[in-house]
Structure 1
């Protein structure tokens, strides 16, 4: 699941250049940080995160803005792809970094249960309260204590479309799920298959994202939270309603490139290539990170390839996000001050001007971003307000929400093959969820 969460940072950088309106690495954000009073002069802080390459370069500039403001010296360490494999031994050796950036809330909960985290200081909590809706504070809390600051987001409530296919069919981006079904029919009549669908065993996380968008829109944020915590069962009627809605598309093989058999063999990368490289489909789900795959084709993001918000299936416009959260692993003012800075609009504006960044921070307006696609996505995030939610499958135990061939991934993959079996799919989902949450 890390690909879905963390790669968005790389991709937003690609969006900046591909959309031909990018700020790229122009340092425009560095001026946002005022010269500091040196209140942390002589303080050394180590922060660990998985970012490398352009992601790391831009994050280092954010850290430089913090150093300029406070006088502190910050050292960056890359954890590699497996964050826990890097941090675990250091925690055991009682030599952790001051601050670490984690790719999943579940890992924060794991560390909190072990007593490895330091609660956020009161002024850090105040900064979070000022800039984020209450949901994001709750997401970074364990046992009623706030431990984490959301530092970067990936946006998953969009569908990519090939503009030529829409133009040929004479259709506009749909606003509701029923409109999406109607547009698909018109696109099909024009001679183009509407959707590429990644339902391969290793990439059926895309199916969980489809479900989450529909479920959040129909059932609403409170019910979504209950399902994420398994406070209601997957046999609940609301789950059945969402599956029936998905079947309006998944249950029509002619709407899917390669039909059901083809979709069940299709990897995520291939679904994007089918749409924008081979031009076998008009639309594909992929979140903002699909831009990386589009960049491998001749299609240009912002012209040949555009996005529209995931259509409303109910009363709520869905806004599903993944993201990276920062926590303190050591006591000390330095780490807490860095967390406070990362929660601020000041840091967000620096990062947004560099590219490779999205955030639900209310203090970072769309105009702060360096490319038009990011501006559009952030406007959607901010518009969603308190209704925005973290990826449900990433909140669940990994055995249920993050394991190829098991749990939610495989249950929904089977549903693509048998879209009339709503009750059976619900029963399978609940049996797998009950087992995973119990363990």
Structure 2
């Protein structure tokens, strides 16, 4: 339906993995991996946005499911426009059985159109016992659980070059003001503080969301995400002003505002971890590690590390997340077997397959941190899971696409305009409210 972001380019070196894992808890022999091949001769089709290494690693999970149940699987890559592709397949009588949905708004759209089957009691029990309640909330519509969050992103991580910070004599900051102060020290040492990917409007929404969640608190965050609070609220204007302190400071942004607006996400990572560094830090999700490792050969934990997005104005440090939820379509030719796949995906055993392969975080607290292949990923996963119900899903992913997920329009475009000229937070808030009101009404 819209852009990829929560899992963009998140890949690390795959590790060898045996599929002969022991059974994990309850739900009958199929979901628990009893190995009785109860689904032999059946095929489950799965649609999702993943390509490249992400698709290959998810295929390992599907292969493990096949080894246990006898079912064959077929993965269909939808590209960014999930809802359009899935809608067309439903209309054409060729609906997939399972869809990996990357936005809360799309999951809600599918449910309200009557496309989804409620998840089984086995899956719901696994969610109740293995996930923080917030994940069930984001997977439910009108109190019915339709989506299982299998893969998550931690979007409150600031990645940095340890060499750059050491040379500047600064340590990872604990507050937003300390971060800007540390940024000036880094800049004085010869590098810009931050590389900002302003060409991709979604990165700017993530900046705003982290500041807003910490500064305004979770209740207002939830209200703004549901458009029960207007974007003209004083809390929004204040958060924009806080973000504007960074945007207008040419000493802090590599190349200044103009260059930031011409820098995409991979380019922003390159400015910190590429062969010719221009900045010491880049803010984005845990998937920065995949780009730093795969494209620039950085050893995570040594050449690249992160600190949590710092607390703003005395608030709590934010934990903003995104994720891919598995749903079962009513019109799939093998929805029953698709439901069994979700029962398997709800187990820590299934999550461990991708965790060992790399480029993956699970919100399932029953997954052992030892399943992850490096200390930095373990630390990121621990931060995400230990945040419990204080986790908040990416706000723009909860909004209608016209406002929160369309290139050159809505929140993306207006925050790009704000990056270009952050002098009028109140005016930007009014523009955001006008765009939001139109999109939510539609």
Tell me how far 1:293 sits from its aligned partner.
Answer: 3.7
1:77 correspondence with 2:78:
no
Match of 1:290 among 288, 291, 307: 288
Q: Which residue matches 1:31?
A: 21
Unaligned runs of 5+ in 1: 18-23
Q: Which residue matches 2:44?
A: 45
Tell me how far 1:263 sits from its aligned partner.
Answer: 2.0
Q: Which residue matches 1:276?
A: 273
Distance verdict in 2 for CA 1:220–1:29, change over 3 Å: farther
Q: Which residue matches 1:20?
A: none
1:321 correspondence with 2:321:
yes
Q: Which residue matches 1:407?
A: 410
SS of aligned partner of 1:255 = coil
Tell me how far 1:332 sits from its aligned partner.
Answer: 4.9
Q: Which residue matches 2:185?
A: 186
Q: Which region of structure 1 is more displaced relative to structure 2, 172-181 or 267-276? A: 267-276
Contact 1:197 1:257 survives alignment (8 Å)? yes
SS of aligned partner of 1:31 = coil
CA offset digits 1:92-140 (Å, max 9, x no partner) = 1333222221222222222222211111122221111111112111211
Contact 1:29 1:352 survives alignment (8 Å)? no
Q: Which residue matches 1:419?
A: 422
SS of aligned partner of 2:193 = strand
CA offset digits 1:66-99 (Å, max 9, x no partner) = 3343x34132221331333432222113332222
Contact 1:100 1:327 survives alignment (8 Å)? yes
Q: Which residue matches 1:54?
A: 53
Query: How far apart are the structure 2 equivalents of 1:275 and 1:354?
Result: 25
Query: How far apart are the structure 1 equivalents of 2:91 and 2:373?
Result: 41
Distance verdict in 2 for CA 1:399–1:89, change over 3 Å: closer
Tell me how far 1:358 sits from its aligned partner.
Answer: 0.7
Q: Which residue matches 1:366?
A: 369
Superposed counterparts of 1:198-347, under 5 Å: 198-200=197-199, 203-277=200-274, 278-294=276-292, 295-297=294-296, 299-313=298-312, 314-330=314-330, 332-347=335-350
Query: How far apart are the structure 2 equivalents of 1:361 and 1:422?
Result: 39
Distance verdict in 2 for CA 1:130–1:354, change over 3 Å: same
Query: How far apart are the structure 1 equivalents of 2:52 and 2:295?
Result: 18
Distance verdict in 2 for CA 1:64–1:77, change over 3 Å: closer
CA offset digits 1:44-85 (Å, max 9, x no partner) = 43323333443333323322333343x341322213313334
Query: How far apart are the structure 2 equivalents of 1:254 and 1:157?
Result: 23
> After the TM superposition, which parts of structure 1 deviate over 6 Å for at least 4 consecutive aligned residues?
none
CA offset digits 1:129-169 (Å, max 9, x no partner) = 11111211121122332111111112211111112211111
Unaligned runs of 5+ in 2: 24-32
- TM-score (ref. length: structure 1): 0.90
Query: How far apart are the structure 1 equivalents of 2:215 and 2:284?
Result: 21
- TM-score (ref. length: structure 2): 0.90
CA offset digits 1:366-414 (Å, max 9, x no partner) = 2221222211210110121111111111111111111222211122222
Distance verdict in 2 for CA 1:283–1:68, change over 3 Å: same
SS of aligned partner of 1:288 = coil
Contact 2:37 2:71 survives alignment (8 Å)? no
Query: How far apart are the structure 1 equivalents of 2:36 and 2:296?
Result: 49
Q: Which residue matches 1:21?
A: none
Q: Which region of structure 1 is more displaced relative to structure 2, 373-382 or 237-246? A: 237-246
Superposed counterparts of 1:115-134, under 5 Å: 115-134=114-133
What is the alpha-carbon root mean square deviation over aligned residues? 2.1
Tell me how far 1:333 sits from its aligned partner.
Answer: 3.5
SS of aligned partner of 1:325 = strand
Contact 1:131 1:363 survives alignment (8 Å)? yes
CA offset digits 1:331-380 (Å, max 9, x no partner) = 75422221121122221123212223211111113222122221121011
Q: Which residue matches 1:380?
A: 383
Q: Which region of structure 1 is more displaced relative to structure 2, 348-357 or 144-153? A: 348-357
Query: How far apart are the structure 2 equivalents of 1:195 and 1:68?
Result: 46
How many pairs are equivalent? 425
